Amino acid sequence: MVLAIGAIERCLETLGAVVRSDEVLSEEFSSSIGFFFRGPAPLHGEQGIGATLLAARRHLEWFLMEYHSPTLRGSMLDRLAEGYADRVAEARNQEGPEIADAMEQALDALLRSHAGIFEIEEVRKGAGAWMRDLTGFGSFALGDVAVAEILNGGELVVGRLYPAGEGVHLASPAAAILASKDVTKALRRDLDQIRETGANKIVRVSQGELEAMFFGAGQRRVVGATAVGSGLEASADPVGDAHARLVAAGLGEARARAAVSQLAREPRDPDSLVHGASDVLGAILEELAFDTDIDLGDARTALLEAWELVSMPFEGKGPTRAKAASAPAPKRDVYDEEEIEPDDELDEEQRAAALAAFTAGRALGTDPAQLLQALESELGIDDDQLPPDEKEDPAPDFPGVVGAMIEEMKWELGATDPDADIEALAPLEHLAEFAKPIGVFEELRGRDMFRFATFWLQEKEVLTSDAEAVALVGALRTFCNWALDAHEVDLGSEFLYALDGMEFSLPRMRHANMRVPEADRARGIAESGELYEILELEGPEPGAFETSHDKVRASNGDVLTVIVASPLRDALAPGDRVRGEITLDGRARIYRCYPPEAKALAAG
């Protein structure tokens, strides 16, 4: 027989009653409301009682079919099966076998249902309609005559689809009907592109994602992505929160860290309507499918949330290219400890023009020595002021040259690569500041890059957000590759490899240093204390030195037992470096924290 929509409604209501009768599941059901709606549940006053009831029904469908319970070892419906069977038996005794059989068939339909976005292809008044799943699962016969009466063709049905028997399907009463040609066109475009460029023909879309896209407060039409506008708030620790979400989904520490690194390197495109096929998300899911037995639905949801977190833009405080080009020329330095000043008669506009001419000349490939000589002349730097060895040097020392090279790279990428994100390179202003004393670009080494990333950034506390830290890592990777390709300046494969870990460790160190007490941070600025390597941190803060298992290695190689206090210990891990002092009672008084990649400097 063909299942009636009323039977599905009764099945859902019965399962909801079973959930509420179980104390543990009832608590989980209530606590999951905020997660599903990405915020508080819709109120009656906002959308009306009808819309609120439909939202509650979508939440129940999601809870039964997609929610990952931390207390259950089996699926949600496995836990509910016995209670539902009791209610079916009760209905059989009180209402007859026909009702009971329909309840059993409805449960089977729920188990075989799936959420999706369906386009109405053909409407047959009085009979139903044909609709196609835009995500690739095929075409389905919609058997609801009442729904077909309000359709004209081309609409989107968004929600869960139930098999009703005899080849007919029913849309959930809580599904939405959307008549938007723009959304349909955009979905087709993205899906067609995926099918042309990749092997994946089907994109799985969860009910939780549909809620965020089409029903949430922001109503962002993004398939497979949790939109910021639909409730996922910016995090004070986006990288850490992203990592925690993936660990909770079962990826494990190492795999979660690698996934965050991959996602951070390819920020989510907010204009794309489909994710998870020919992008970094699809690559990670494919790896999980082959290498693990993780629930891919849970993993996909966690990966999408992690991707959104690490993709949130940061407000770069670096100068734009135009501002950087108009900045005063850097001062020459260190000749008999005297400063060589540019001609005081030059105004800021003339100095800016001179530096801009230098930058443009470098971009065109003009000989650096000629450009520097011309720049010195324009700035009024007399050759007699320079040391004798500099007068004959074919590559004059030019403090600030690294900053000039960064500007050259921005100009070159902007001129040759239409897809280049120049604004994402803004955090390189920190590298330019660090490298001011370097006067010859070829003298910049991988060791300098390690010193900048692992120590200088932490000492100066210049990173204002986790997003900026992640963006800086990507910008450093771009700069290293460009330096090698454009100028044959090799900053070392070791540093490039270390950048993968820094996408996680730099944000973590930023938070660790924020947890250092204010008085100790002041001592850190004064560069007090000794350098130690964290070897072991076990459990909560030890109550006494005698029971502590916290261990550090001093710079002379001695292994010491210490007490690392909370909350700082929660932000540290074995391999990290810290600068501080060990008190007489064995407590580690930490002034500054450094990432584990600093070991490259210790080895050198």
Predicted confidence (pLDDT) per residue in 21-31, tens digit: 888 888 888 88
CB-based contact 509:595 (threshold 8 Å) = yes
- Asked whether residue 206 carries a pLDDT value surpassing 90, the answer given is no
pLDDT in tens, 408-453: 899 888 888 888 889 899 999 999 999 988 888 888 988 999 999 9
Please give the pLDDT value at position 218. 37
CB-based contact 554:566 (threshold 8 Å) = no
Please give the pLDDT value at position 324. 30
Q: Read off the pLDDT band of 578 (50, 70, 90).
A: very high
- Asked whether residue 602 carries a pLDDT value surpassing 80, the answer given is no
Instruction: Compute the average pLDDT of residues 354-381.
Output: 53
Q: Read off the pLDDT band of 457 (50, 70, 90).
A: very high
Residue 172 tokens read as 């959930």
3-state secondary structure of 588: strand
pLDDT in tens, 382-407: 545 444 444 444 444 455 789 889 99
**Triad 326, 329, 330: Cα angle to 5°:** 135
Query: Comparing 129-138, 265-274, 468-477, 529-538, which segment has the lowest mean pLDDT?
Result: 265-274
- Which CA distances in Å does 292 have to 70, 109, 139, 208? 19, 29, 32, 23
Quote the percentage of the chain above a pLDDT of 90: 20
Please give the pLDDT value at position 576. 94
What the chain holds in terms of domains, given with CATH numbers, is 1-111 (no CATH), 203-311 (no CATH), 321-508 (no CATH), 515-603 (2.40.50.140)
Residue 409 tokens read as 């790279």
CA distance 604 to 601: 5
Instruction: Compute the average pLDDT of residues 250-271.
Output: 74
CA distance 421 to 442: 26
Residue 159 tokens read as 């929600």
Please give the pLDDT value at position 265. 67
CB-based contact 217:231 (threshold 8 Å) = yes
Please give the pLDDT value at position 212. 75
Neighbours of 472 (CB within 10 A): 29
- Asked whether residue 573 carries a pLDDT value surpassing 80, the answer given is yes
Instruction: Compute the average pLDDT of residues 219-229.
Output: 31
The values of phi and psi at residue 509, to 5°, are -70, -35
Better-scored residue on pLDDT, 342 or 50: 50
Listed in sequence order, the residues at least 6 apart from 284 whose beta carbon sits closer than 8 Å to its beta carbon are: 259, 262, 263, 303
CA distance 489 to 206: 48
Please give the pLDDT value at position 152. 84
Please give the pLDDT value at position 323. 30
3-state secondary structure of 364: coil
CB-based contact 328:319 (threshold 8 Å) = no
- Asked whether residue 317 carries a pLDDT value surpassing 70, the answer given is no
103: left (phi over 0), alpha (psi -120 to 50) or beta: alpha
The values of phi and psi at residue 142, to 5°, are -90, 115
Query: Comparing 104-108, 167-171, 185-189, 397-401, which segment has the lowest mean pLDDT?
Result: 397-401
DSSP state of 550: E
CB-based contact 432:441 (threshold 8 Å) = no
Q: Are strands 138-142 and 168-171 parallel, antiparallel or unpaired?
A: parallel
pLDDT in tens, 106-135: 999 998 888 888 888 888 877 888 888 877
- Asked whether residue 475 carries a pLDDT value surpassing 90, the answer given is yes
Please give the pLDDT value at position 40. 65
CB-based contact 572:578 (threshold 8 Å) = yes
503-526 CB burial, b ≥16 within 10 A, e <16: bbbbbbbbbbbebbeeebbebbee
Q: Read off the pLDDT band of 372 (50, 70, 90).
A: low
CA distance 562 to 565: 10
CB neighbour class for 87 (10 Å; exposed up to 12, middle 13-18, buried from 19): middle
The values of phi and psi at residue 455, to 5°, are -115, -55
CB-based contact 328:348 (threshold 8 Å) = yes
Please give the pLDDT value at position 371. 53
Q: Chain-wide mean pLDDT for the chain? A: 75
Task: Pinpoint the alpha helices (H) of 215-276.
Answer: 238-248, 253-265
Question: Hey, what long-range contacts does 193-201 have (CB within 8 A, 24 or more apart)?
Answer: 193/278, 194/274, 194/277, 194/278, 197/278, 198/277, 198/278, 198/282, 200/277, 200/278, 200/282, 201/136
DSSP state of 234: P
Instruction: Compute the average pLDDT of residues 267-271.
Output: 60
Please give the pLDDT value at position 227. 28
Percent helix, percent strand, percent coil in the chain, to nearest 5: 55, 15, 35
Instruction: Compute the average pLDDT of residues 88-109.
Output: 92
CA distance 19 to 2: 27
CB-based contact 274:191 (threshold 8 Å) = yes
- Asked whether residue 219 carries a pLDDT value surpassing 80, the answer given is no
Better-scored residue on pLDDT, 76 or 531: 531
Please give the pLDDT value at position 574. 92
